[in-house]
Amino acid sequence: MKQSLFKTLAMLAIVLFAGMQINAQEFKGLDKSPMDAASFPADYRESNKLIKVVYSRPQLKGRSLAKLAPEGQVWRTGANEAAELTLYVDMKLGDTKVPAGTYTFYVIPGKDTWTAVISTDLNVWGAYFYKQDNDVARLEVPVMTGKDSLEAFSIAFDKSDSGVDMFLGWDTTRVKVPFTK
């Protein structure tokens, strides 16, 4: 009986200790710009995707877009790691054919136009290590103004007559980047 009681108490102590370890885990410094993904087709039941982007969603929090994504400077297209673009089929950005694959997607904000940049850079944090020599394609696109302000930077896709349009939005700034087949 003593041995059985000892085994039971030992097992209880192990379970309690393991439970304390799990409860003691702290989640410090969680990302304030959570990662997100957008793809086309957007329907999760459709696995035959054409394009996907994985990016982090910074928020304005009273700051200006011009401070967070300065004009004339290469921007990571979001926060933290640079946005990662996957093309599941060959597509064109402007007149440049881009083979299916995974790339980094940068933008260069401007007052009236933004430049979309597809680069062979991979697994980069920010745009600190951007090298223009690694550009695969560039396209200058016009800036539009939305009627509503978006607090968090957002990316969405929509079908177009000739392919897929990627929409970037933050504050009242809207940019459409056309990908064609």
Is residue 2 assigned to a domain?
no
Is residue 56 assigned to a domain?
yes
pLDDT bracket for residue 154 (50, 70, 90): very high
- Is pLDDT of 16 > 70? no
Is residue 9 assigned to a domain?
no
Per-residue model confidence as pLDDT tens digits over 77-87: 999 999 999 99
Residues spanned by the domain of 68: 33-180
Q: What is the pTM of this model?
A: 0.83
Which of residues 177 and 19 earns the better pLDDT score? 177
Is residue 67 assigned to a domain?
yes
User: What is the separation, in whole angstroms, between the first and last Cα of the chain?
Assistant: 76
Total domains, the chain: 1
Determine the pLDDT at residue 9.
58
Nearest to 119 by CA among 95, 140, 101: 101
pLDDT bracket for residue 5 (50, 70, 90): low
Rounded average pLDDT over 28-34: 79
Q: Rounded to 5, what percent of the chain is helix, strand, coil?
A: 15, 50, 35
Per-residue model confidence as pLDDT tens digits over 157-171: 999 999 999 999 999
168 bridge partner residues: 155, 175
What's the Cα-to-Cα distance from 72 to each of 110, 121, 134, 147, 169, rounded to whole Å?
A: 6, 20, 18, 24, 18
Q: What would the two tokens of residue 174 be?
A: 């809207």
Mean pLDDT score across all residues of the chain: 90
